[in-house]
Structure formats: C-alpha cells, structure tokens
Amino acid sequence: MLGVVLDGDVVIDAWERPTPTGSIADDGRAVLEQLTALLGDVLASRPGAEAATIGVGLPGMLGADGVLLAAPNLLSAQGAAIAPRLEEAFGRRVVLANDADCAAIAEAAVGVARMHDDVLLVTLGTGIGGGIIAGGRLLRGGRGYAGEIGHVVIDPGGPQCPCGARGCWEQFASGTALGRLARDAARAGRLAAVLDEAGGDVDAVRGEQVTRAAAAGDAEALVLVEEVAWWLARGLANLVAVLDPTMIVLGGGLATHGELLVDPVRRLLPGMLEGGRSRPGIEVVLAELGPRAGAVGAALLGRGEQ
Amino acid sequence: MLGVVLDGDVVIDAWERPTPTGSIADDGRAVLEQLTALLGDVLASRPGAEAATIGVGLPGMLGADGVLLAAPNLLSAQGAAIAPRLEEAFGRRVVLANDADCAAIAEAAVGVARMHDDVLLVTLGTGIGGGIIAGGRLLRGGRGYAGEIGHVVIDPGGPQCPCGARGCWEQFASGTALGRLARDAARAGRLAAVLDEAGGDVDAVRGEQVTRAAAAGDAEALVLVEEVAWWLARGLANLVAVLDPTMIVLGGGLATHGELLVDPVRRLLPGMLEGGRSRPGIEVVLAELGPRAGAVGAALLGRGEQ
C-alpha cells in the first residue's frame, strides 16, 4: 500500500507498506495495522496538518458507511468497518473509496482525462475494476458500490466467476482471462514460445507472458491478445451504452504493453456502438499516472475534491 | 405525443397529437409539424408565460446539441436538429431529453422514487429504454446519450438487434422478446390458449397476449413470462453492478400486468448481485405516473429542475 502527500497536484512525499495478503478473515486487523502504520508515517511528516481529512483507497466494494462489503483481493478485511476504526485511531475524518474510483478521480483531475467531465476508467488486472466520472463527479451509487464493471455478465453461459455469477466481463477481458486462453492454447499444442518461457509447464503459463510474447511479435500470442481485445471492446461498448463517456482510460497490469490492446479496441469500438459511426468518437487512451494513481486520487478525495 | 402544463407537481392541462409513424427520413418535418402544433396549443393556453423554457421528451438517442442521432421508433426524424428548429419557431429556449430520461426525472421528482437519489428507471416495451438518476441528477453522459440500457449486450451469440449488435438485452427482456418466445412456443405446439386468441395464426401471436394469459393463470404462458423475468433480472443485475441504485422502477407496456414480472425479479435479483445477500436490498417497484411520466418529466426539465 502507498501513502502520498500532495502539494497542489504534485506528489512531494510517498511511503510504502506491504499489503496483507492473508485470506483468513480477521475483521481487518492486519490491513488496519498496516494502514495505521502507513498513515502514521504520513501524518508524522506533516506536523502542521492536524485538521486534514485522510483519503484512503482500497480494492473491493466499499460502502458509503466505510465498510468493506466484498473484497476478493483483500479477503482478510472483508466485512470490516475500516473508516470508523481509522477515524477512531486518528481523531480526524477519514474518507474511503474503491481504488479504481480513486484512480478515476486522479486521472480526471490531474491525469490524462483532465479535459473531460465524463470518463470511464478501467483497470485490467486479475479482474476488471472501474471508476466512473459523470458530469465531472465520481459516480458513487446509492451505497457507494457503483463502478463494479467487471461483473457485468456478458455471456450467462460463460465461465464461473468468483463473485458467484457466470460469464462476468472480467472472465473474458482480464489478465486472468488471457492466462486461461493461453493455457488452453498451450494444452492444444499451440503457443510454443510462451510455453517454453513457462518451463514447459502448461499450468505455469500466465497472461503477462502472452502480452510480452505478443509485443515481441509472436503470431500465436497476438491471436489471443486480439481475442481478449474483442471482449474488452464488447464490454466497453456495453458501458458506453449506459454511461456515454467522452474518454475511456485503460490502466492496470494487462495494459502494460498498452498499444497491443488499445489499438484493436480503437478499431473495434466504433462499430459496436448504437448510432454507429455517425456517433461522435470516444477517445480510448492509456492511464497516465501509473501505480500512484489510486493514492493520488485518495489524497484528492481527502482534500474534498470529489 | 402529449403536452402538459404543471402547477407545482400537478398536471393542470394536457393536449395530445398523433405521433408520426412514417419510416422515410424527412429531416424531422412530420415530427416537427406535430410538435409545433402541440406546443402552440400549450403556449396559447398560457399567454403570461412568454419567457418559459419548453421541455420536450422524444424517443431515441438525443444529443446535448438537440439532434436526434438515432431513433428506431421515430425513424422519419432520425438525424434532425429538433431543438434548434423549435427554438427558432418559438423564440425561446427548448430543452430536449430522451423520453425515458424524462420519465426518470418525473418518477424521481414527484413519483414513486421521490425519496431516492439513485434510481434506475426501465421502460419495457418494444425495446428497453432507460433513465438514470445518480446522486439526485439525471445522468446524461458526455454527449447526452447515456441510459441506452437496452443495448447492453448480454449474449454476443444472441439474436440480431436492429441496432446492429447481436444479443442486446432488449432482445431477451422486452415485449418483443416475449412475443418471439411465444411464437416459438406456439410453433412447437405449446401455448394453445394464446394461439387461439391470435386466431390460430402463429405469426399474429404477440407479447401482450402472453402476459394477459399468464395473468389469468395459463401455466404455459407463465413459463415464458418467467423466462423473460430471468433475463430482466440478469440485465438489471448488470446495471446494478455499474450504477448501484437504491431503487429500480419498471414501466412500459410489458409492466402492465406488473406483479407478474416484478415478483420474480424481486426473488431473483438479490442472488445475482456481487456482495450477495449481505448487500443492502434494492427496491424494485412499478412506475407510478403511467403514460404521462415522460411529459411531466419534460415539463420539469423545462422548468430547470434537472
């Protein structure tokens, strides 16, 4: 986890702590311990800032009540009342938001989307996270759970998703999805170069290896990336139908070799939209702020900018 | 088309004109003729209201520029610059919005959703229309096209949609979808009572006949309604993932025998949501304002209430 101090729009100081990865629910104890230590470091560095609100971004479904309702990537803290307990520990206001929401706030305020009021930020990693800026403001939803875009079902007969549904978008267009496609391909005797890199072990094949191979021009890897890009575009078109953003920002691990995904999405998306090519174009770009986007957005949130 | 005058929240006067149904593009001439006559009637009844802004709701994708980009249910006016031409004709400001957006404004301001700030209104008819209230405001999108929820693709291998895509939600959960299911069932020798009502002609079977039969207890019709309700719930769960409303309002022709669809949706929806049954409930209710909702919402829009 990352803590930052902003001066204006610029990160002038940053601290890092390991994110607890335990899967046994401990009512958030391990996560709160790290968060408290991290925030302690941040606050100790700014003795004049007694009254400042703290902004925190966390992965998962964060309610407006500061409780982490569901958090597949922070399992030990699932169900924990994070915000109230941090407020108690620090004696000041603490505002929480989903980390993709924070990244969207940051990209819209000081990043690639700063000229846009209607932005969809999509983080492509293990799953798909989303942050939505609508009319210049973060779309939070009634309980704070908006933007769970990875769980739009795009094929009810598709693979089982850990969320309980079948055929969620993130089962088709995430790093996990690319890894599954790659293992299927390797098992079927294709993707020799990638399989070599994985030491000949099909089960060790990961999405990262495929994007790396595709970036190096491996034709079989490119086919798989193109398939994931088609699903990515299809899911983005769904969200455009609902939200009508003027810019889509792609971030996360799967977007590391950015143009590999961005190019096919730019090519495919216009033809998938209602109103077709007579509809004004939607910019599809890569995130600009990198791994610090979430922390910067949380700091902006703490400053009351959303 | 319907024109209304409000006093506070109450409709004190209403006028009606036939909606042009022609499918030959005439740059909106026929539609503008009827609209101009209707608005002329409305304005003539209120000689003191010279400066009032006019609010107009129309079916289709209405841009923030007042141009009707795509309008499958008002084909002759597709591409027409409606707002600028009405402004010219009446010498006053004219604000336009999609009719489902207007219905959402009305239900959230003076209808069933008036205690809610985050509302999803869904009109189930030939297709599926949507109006989204987020944080107390209409979600318009960057170009005014938000809320085209019927075109979220829910099965890319599904039936062709007139919008150009395959497997749009409205191909599974609209009156049209129920009609297609019913004709398939009748062709397969089922749905005898409904087929009788359609004069024994399979091609004359319509969704309305099925809902009527189901409401009267016809078991075969109930199976079809339940299938449509499953898809309805599935698509609503998708939108809940993105928008997190606290209330879903169902309206339109297919919701006429309301509880028939509302009951199964209430039963199915909670189990389809991420966070499952530990997530706070979402109210699913029928629209309250009926066929006047769109006109009331347009009037509120004209009054500057959104």
pLDDT one-digit tens code per residue, A58-107: 988 999 899 999 888 888 999 999 999 999 999 999 999 999 999 999 99
What is the average pLDDT value for chain A, to the nearest integer? 93
User: What integer pLDDT is reported at residue B103 of this predicted model?
Assistant: 96
pLDDT one-digit tens code per residue, B55-106: 999 988 999 899 999 888 888 999 999 999 999 999 999 999 999 999 999 9
Q: Count contacts between A and B (CB, < 8 Å).
A: 154
Contact B153 A280 (CB under 8 A): no
Contact B147 A242 (CB under 8 A): yes
Overall average pLDDT of the B178-204 stretch: 94
* Residues of chain A contacting residue B149, judged by C-beta atoms under 8 Å apart: 241-242
> In a mutagenesis test of the B interface, which of A244, A272, A273, A279 is the best target, namely the one with the most B β-carbons within 10 Å?
A244
* Residues of chain A contacting residue B79, judged by C-beta atoms under 8 Å apart: 278
Overall average pLDDT of the A227-239 stretch: 97
Smallest Cα distance from B150 to chain A, Å: 8
> In a mutagenesis test of the B interface, which of A232, A242, A268, A283 is the best target, namely the one with the most B β-carbons within 10 Å?
A242
* Residues of chain A contacting residue B155, judged by C-beta atoms under 8 Å apart: 154-157
The closest alpha carbon to A275, from B305, B63, B276, B181, belongs to B63
- Residue A189's pLDDT band, with cuts at 50, 70 and 90, is very high
Residue A82 near residue A96 (C-beta atoms within 8 A): yes
User: What integer pLDDT is reported at residue A288 of this predicted model?
Assistant: 94
What is the spatial distance between Cα B179 and Cα B202, in angstroms, rounded to a whole number? 10
Residue in A238, A243, A275 nearest the CB of B153? A238
User: What integer pLDDT is reported at residue A231 of this predicted model?
Assistant: 97
Q: Which 3 state secondary structure label does DSSP give A223?
A: helix
Smallest Cα distance from B228 to chain A, Å: 14
Residue with the two structure tokens 């199976």: B223
Residue of B nearest to A154 (CA): B154
- Angstrom CA distances, B265 to A147, A232, A260, B227, stand at 22, 29, 41, 11
User: What integer pLDDT is reported at residue A139 of this predicted model?
Assistant: 97
pLDDT of A298 > 90? The answer is yes
pLDDT one-digit tens code per residue, A97-106: 999 999 999 9
Q: Per the structure block, which two tokens stand in for A79?
A: 């169900």
Contact B244 A144 (CB under 8 A): yes
What is the spatial distance between Cα A219 and Cα A102, in angstroms, rounded to a whole number? 37
* Residues of chain B contacting residue A79, judged by C-beta atoms under 8 Å apart: 278
CB neighbours of residue B67 within 10 Å: 20
CB neighbours of residue A113 within 10 Å: 26
Note the pTM of the prediction, 2 decimals: 0.94
Residue A14 CB partners (closer than 8 Å, separation 6+)? A2, A3, A4, A5, A292, A295
Contact A69 B154 (CB under 8 A): no
Smallest Cα distance from A83 to chain B, Å: 18
User: What integer pLDDT is reported at residue B57 of this predicted model?
Assistant: 92
Residue A16 sits at φ, ψ, to 5 deg, of -130, 145
pLDDT one-digit tens code per residue, A34-51: 999 999 999 999 887 766
Q: Per the structure block, which two tokens stand in for B75?
A: 């084909």
What is the spatial distance between Cα A233 and Cα A245, in angstroms, rounded to a whole number? 14
Contact A274 B141 (CB under 8 A): no
pLDDT one-digit tens code per residue, A195-209: 999 999 999 999 999
* Residues of chain B contacting residue A242, judged by C-beta atoms under 8 Å apart: 130, 132, 146-149, 152, 239, 242-243
Q: Which 3 state secondary structure label does DSSP give B285?
A: strand
Q: What is the dihedral of CA B34, B38, B40, B44, to 10 degrees?
A: 160
Contact B70 A275 (CB under 8 A): yes
pLDDT of A251 > 80? The answer is yes
pLDDT of A235 > 90? The answer is yes
Contact B244 A148 (CB under 8 A): yes
What ipTM was predicted for this assembly?
0.94
Residue of A nearest to B168 (CA): A238
Contact B70 A141 (CB under 8 A): no
- Residue B162's pLDDT band, with cuts at 50, 70 and 90, is confident
Contact A137 B132 (CB under 8 A): no
* Residues of chain A contacting residue B154, judged by C-beta atoms under 8 Å apart: 153-156
Residue B78 CB partners (closer than 8 Å, separation 6+)? B25, B60, B68, B69, B70, B71
- Angstrom CA distances, B262 to A99, A227, B74, B258, B269, stand at 35, 37, 29, 6, 10
What is the average pLDDT value for chain B, to the nearest integer? 93
Residue of A nearest to B150 (CA): A241
Q: Per the structure block, which two tokens stand in for A124?
A: 């492509």
Q: Per the structure block, which two tokens stand in for B119?
A: 């509302």
Greatest mean pLDDT among A194-208, A278-292, B237-251 lies in B237-251
pLDDT one-digit tens code per residue, B5-49: 998 888 999 999 988 888 898 999 999 999 999 999 999 998 877
User: What integer pLDDT is reported at residue B23 of this predicted model?
Assistant: 85
Residue A256 CB partners (closer than 8 Å, separation 6+)? A208, A211
Contact B274 A148 (CB under 8 A): yes
Contact A278 B139 (CB under 8 A): no
pLDDT one-digit tens code per residue, A111-153: 999 999 999 999 999 899 999 999 999 999 999 999 999 999 9
* Residues of chain A contacting residue B70, judged by C-beta atoms under 8 Å apart: 274-275, 278-279
Helix-helix angle A293-302:A99-110, to 10 degrees: 80
* Residues of chain A contacting residue B116, judged by C-beta atoms under 8 Å apart: 142
* Residues of chain B contacting residue A245, judged by C-beta atoms under 8 Å apart: 141-142
> In a mutagenesis test of the B interface, which of A61, A145, A234 is the best target, namely the one with the most B β-carbons within 10 Å?
A145
User: What integer pLDDT is reported at residue A94 of this predicted model?
Assistant: 92
Residue of A nearest to B235 (CA): A153
- Angstrom CA distances, B32 to B3, B15, B157, stand at 14, 16, 39
Q: What is the CA radius of gyration of chain B?
A: 20
pLDDT of A164 > 80? The answer is yes
Q: Which 3 state secondary structure label does DSSP give B188?
A: coil
User: What integer pLDDT is reported at residue B306 of this predicted model?
Assistant: 73
Residue of B nearest to A147 (CA): B242
Residue A113 CB partners (closer than 8 Å, separation 6+)? A104, A107, A119, A121, A133, A247, A249, A285
Contact B244 A132 (CB under 8 A): no
What is the spatial distance between Cα B96 and Cα B63, in angstroms, rounded to a whole number? 9
pLDDT of B277 > 80? The answer is no
Cross-strand pairs, A128: A124
What length does chain B have?
306
Q: How many helices (H) and strands (E) does chain A have?
A: 10, 11
User: What integer pLDDT is reported at residue A9 of this predicted model?
Assistant: 87
- Residue A171's pLDDT band, with cuts at 50, 70 and 90, is very high
pLDDT one-digit tens code per residue, B204-229: 999 999 999 999 999 999 999 999 99
